[in-house]
Chain A
Amino acid sequence: MAAPRNNNSSCWGVPDVYKHHEQKKICISRPKYRDGRRDRAVKVYTINLESNYLMIQGVPAIGVMPELIQLCALYGAVEEYKPLDEYPAEEFTEVYLVKFQKLTSARAAKRRMDEKSFYGGLLHVCYVPEYETVEDTRLKLQDRRRYIIWAVRNKARKKEQKEAVNEKPTSSEKATTSETVIARHEKTVVPDNTGNTSNICHYSGFPLLPFPPQEYHYYRHGNPHWTIPTEDKMGTLHNAIIDTKRLEPQSSSSCQASLDKDRGTEQRLTLNQAPAAVRFVPRTTHLENRKRRMEEAADHSLTDVTINNEPLIGPKLPEPPKLDMEDVSLNTTANLIRNTLKKVESVPDLKPVEKKVKPRRRI
């Protein structure tokens, strides 16, 4: 490990280069049965290596920070970000530190953005847990532990249910792998009790990428059969998204109760409900909540677009262009077309041109 240059414990101090930032060499000698879809190095991921802090290297130095952060924000709320000017970088590239609100968002962003092209540059994304505070680390471990205990209990419960009841194969079984994330999103667009159809979040103005793979612990449509993993043959599940939340034991039973409810009524957990126990809320609900909050904010004529209710640290992103539906200029094209059609209709019909008929060649 490279010797640290200073003891600056502030997360915004001069950055040190650590071994886990380096990209390891890809392993090329794996036998086929355990070779994955993507080339990977031989590396073990533990909860210590993961973090809600990501470092993104290889960003072209052409002033694309807003675009980069918008891209990151697709995977979840970004709390803070800043360029790491002192970190060693290749010529004409920049390095950024991005702090996500949740580890699962960071995991998704790392998976989707690492080794991807971005404005002509190749991004290298890695976790940087050294930026965590003691409290960050503690919470990370606690969340992870709670999730594991919940997942294991859930699995045991389902096993019991399976053994207890002879189940018929469910025709409505909804696969939960990454390939079907778009389909899943469409399901969540089903109108809820308020009749409000929630659409894809447009707040970033960015073309929406398919959602990262998720394991839905809280299954909104009442189907308990969800345990489809998203690992590849090398066990790299750390790349999958496991939406962890601090689950109290009581709330897991409330999840079960809602699973048994009538499938017609869609139970929507919002962040405003049950403030006493922290609830697990699927990410699509977050997006819908965010959109609703934005609409409410727009009604109150707020000009700042905040991703969450906390004050935004760092330079603000450019605002999405505001559209005035009453503007006359919006109808310009339609009017032009109408006028042209009127002109065309007013011109008298021309004589049909006589067609010259070519004699057909007989073979």
Chain B
Amino acid sequence: MWKKDSSEGSDRFEYLQTLVTEFQDTDSEEAKEQVLANLANFAYDPNNMENLRELQVPDLFLDMLTEENANFVEFGMGGLCNLSMDPECRDVILQCNGISLVTNCLSNQREETVLSAITTLMNLTTPSSRAEITDPAILQCMLRFSLSESPRLRSLAAVFLQDCCSQEQVARAEQQMQGQQTAVGIPLPKD
């Protein structure tokens, strides 16, 4: 599809720009979903990451995380999952308050969205962001996920807990969780 000459880079950029423009201009929800999915898939290829950054697509994906449309959230989160593997995109996402937006997706109904969020958080882990990402609330969420019936959720949460935080942090989060659970277990008086 792309021309095999020196203008290939600009062809690519122009095409991506056309997609972004369509997304911004169209009123059709369906067209927006299609374009968003396309952009998220293009974000999988490292060749496109610089172009997408220039077109401010990371911001676009982040904006999708607070949308009502569940597909928008899922595709936007998927796009971020793909983009955040690139260190420069990762930094852009971090600067735009990405951690908190992505963390909110951990409670999404759709499993794909949650899985993308976990992977994105792992990608966003840097020496400076580690403290925020290993917040006890997030660790407790991951601990719950590691007990989930879903094997994919279990595995990914386990990788997060093993790779992103220390054993002490995990142990502390476990203790806090147990404290909360014993309180929840006591039945309220009937009178």
Q: Tell me if B93 is interfacial: C-beta within 8 Å of chain A.
A: no
The residue in chain A whose Cβ has the minimal distance to the Cβ of B153 is A130
Measured CB to CB, the closest approach of chain B to A199, in angstroms, equals 29
| A44-B78, A228-B2 as given contacts; A133 in contact with B150, CB under 8 Å | no
Q: Which 4 A-B pairs have the closest CB atoms?
A: A235-B41, A235-B42, A44-B78, A151-B46
Tell whether, in the assembled complex, residue B155 and residue A132 are in contact, meaning their CB atoms are under 8 Å apart.
yes
Residues of A within 8 A of B59 (CB): none
Measured CB to CB, the closest approach of chain A to B118, in angstroms, equals 8
Tell whether, in the assembled complex, residue A34 and residue B19 are in contact, meaning their CB atoms are under 8 Å apart.
yes
The residue in chain B whose Cβ has the minimal distance to the Cβ of A147 is B46
With a 10 A CB-CB cut-off, give which of B39, B43, B116, B151 has the most chain A CB atoms. Answer: B151
Residues of A within 8 A of B98 (CB): none
Residues of B within 8 A of A229 (CB): 1-2, 12, 45, 47-48
A interface majority secondary structure: loop
| A4-B149, A148-B86, A229-B2 as given contacts; A237 in contact with B155, CB under 8 Å | no
| A134-B155, A134-B158, A138-B159 as given contacts; A238 in contact with B119, CB under 8 Å | no
Tell whether, in the assembled complex, residue B116 and residue A48 are in contact, meaning their CB atoms are under 8 Å apart.
yes
How many residues in B have their beta carbons less than 8 Å from beta carbons of A?
Answer: 57
| A4-B150, A48-B119, A141-B159 as given contacts; A152 in contact with B49, CB under 8 Å | yes
User: Would you give the 0/1 interface string for B34-71, flagging 1 where the beta carbon is closer than 8 Å to chain A?
Assistant: 11011111111111111000000000000000000001
Tell whether, in the assembled complex, residue A227 and residue B35 are in contact, meaning their CB atoms are under 8 Å apart.
no
Residue of B47, B156, B163 touching A151 (CB-CB under 8 A) = B47
Measured CB to CB, the closest approach of chain A to B45, in angstroms, equals 4
Residues of A within 8 A of B (CB): 1, 3-4, 7, 9, 19-20, 27, 29-31, 33-34, 42-49, 129-134, 136-138, 141, 144-145, 147-149, 151-152, 155, 173, 175, 177, 227-229, 231-238
CA distance A130 to B113 in the complex (A): 16
CA distance A47 to B78 in the complex (A): 9
CA distance A130 to B35 in the complex (A): 28
Residue of B31, B44, B75, B156 touching A237 (CB-CB under 8 A) = B44
Residues of A within 8 A of B37 (CB): 42-44, 234
Q: Tell me if B143 is interfacial: C-beta within 8 Å of chain A.
A: no
CA distance A177 to B8 in the complex (A): 14
Residues of A within 8 A of B163 (CB): 138
CA distance A36 to B4 in the complex (A): 19
Tell whether, in the assembled complex, residue A34 and residue B42 are in contact, meaning their CB atoms are under 8 Å apart.
no
| Pairs A–B under 8 Å by Cβ, sample size 18 | A34-B34, A44-B75, A46-B44, A48-B81, A48-B115, A134-B154, A134-B159, A137-B159, A138-B159, A138-B162, A141-B119, A173-B4, A227-B47, A229-B2, A234-B41, A235-B41, A237-B45, A238-B41
